[in-house]
Amino acid sequence: MKIEMPPSTMLNPVPVVMVSCAGKEPMKIGKRPNIITCAWAGTVNSEPPMVSVSIRKSRHSHDLICETQEFVINLVSEELAKACDYCGVRSGANEDKFDKLDLHAVPSPHLEFAPMIEEAPLSISCKLKDILELGSHDMFLAEVVGVSVDEKLLNNKGKICLEKAHLVTYCHGDYYSIGKVLGFFGYSVASKEALRRRMPPKKTKKSNKK
Ligand SMILES: Cc1cc2nc3c(=O)[nH]c(=O)nc-3n(C[C@H](O)[C@H](O)[C@H](O)COP(=O)(O)O)c2cc1C
């Protein structure tokens, strides 16, 4: 039996990302590079690749993104989890979060103003296409104009191995590290050969017998 609850944002888990942005004059205090943590983020189209992030008007980052029409979505590794939380509870209007957290803002090769976070495993450069005023949040719809990945995450064939990044997800107020692989796209209908090749080996219990 299910118990009925009032309508709420219960879609879980969701990605949690660090969105970096800056004003057009990044040397000015109110326009310096900034990071906002967002859980209301998602992929919304494949061709062209498009994403959305929903940000309240009251956030400092809201104004910066409106000013430059650019932002970068940085994926969060386990190592960045605490910094990610910090960027979600302190405003860049009052402090330099890059400096405070010893993170580095590096130029995106695809954008004019919004920097990437050097320490992030993967950074998605985005150009704003539209803003939907939904109520509490404004949804920024953007096109992905470039993806920059830590070279350590590429295998010798140039494939991105995101499992090496130990990414973080957000579920009902808590951060989790992604762990166990359960299958791959289409594994429910895959051939035995594909399953043998691509499924993680099943752990066998060590016998205590000597
Ligand atoms: C886990 C987490 C997720 C968050 N998700 C969002 C979000 O999707 N949209 C938003 O406007 N604020 C979100 N926030 C709050 C902002 O990150 C927070 O208000 C931040 O201090 C704003 O920074 P800024 O003023 O420098 O832009 C989130 C905070 C946390 C901790």
Instruction: Take residue 200 and report the two structure tokens written for it.
Output: 């993680």
We report the CATH number of the domain holding residue 85 as 2.30.110.10
Residue whose token pair is 């993806």: 147
pLDDT at 34 over 60: yes
**Which atom of ligand 1 is the closest one to the Cα of 53?**
8
Show the domain range for 100: 14-177
Q: Residue 197: inside a domain, yes or no?
A: no
Q: Residue 205: inside a domain, yes or no?
A: no
Q: Residue 203: inside a domain, yes or no?
A: no
For ligand 1, atom 15, which residue shows the shortest CA distance? Answer: 88
From ligand 1's centre to the CA of 86, what distance in Å?
9
Q: Residue 90: inside a domain, yes or no?
A: yes
Instruction: State if residue 85 touches ligand 1 by the CB under 6 angstroms criterion.
Output: yes
Query: Do 34 and 61 contact (CB within 8 A), yes or no?
Result: yes
Distance CA 190, CA 193 (A): 8
pLDDT score at 153:
97
Q: What is the pTM of this model?
A: 0.95
Using one digit for the tens of pLDDT, what is the confidence trace for 57-89?
999 999 999 999 999 999 999 999 999 999 999
Q: Residue 1: inside a domain, yes or no?
A: no
Q: Residue 99: inside a domain, yes or no?
A: yes
For ligand 1, atom 7, which residue shows the shortest CA distance? Answer: 38
Using one digit for the tens of pLDDT, what is the confidence trace for 101-147?
999 999 999 999 999 999 999 999 999 999 999 999 999 999 999 99
Residue whose token pair is 């499992």: 163
Q: Residue 33: inside a domain, yes or no?
A: yes
Residue whose token pair is 């104004």: 63
**Mean of the pLDDT values across residues 50-58?**
98
**Mean of the pLDDT values across residues 178-189?**
94
Distance CA 159, CA 143 (A): 23
Instruction: Take residue 177 and report the two structure tokens written for it.
Output: 């590290």
Provide, for the chain, the percentages of residues in helix, strand and coil under a 3-state DSSP scheme, each rounded to the nearest 5. Answer: 20, 35, 45
Tell me the sheet residues that pair with 83: none
pLDDT score at 200:
80
Q: Residue 192: inside a domain, yes or no?
A: no
Instruction: Take residue 89 and report the two structure tokens written for it.
Output: 């509870």
The domain tally of the chain equals 1
Using one digit for the tens of pLDDT, what is the confidence trace for 147-170?
999 999 999 999 999 999 999 999
pLDDT at 205 over 80: no
Instruction: State if residue 42 touches ligand 1 by the CB under 6 angstroms criterion.
Output: no
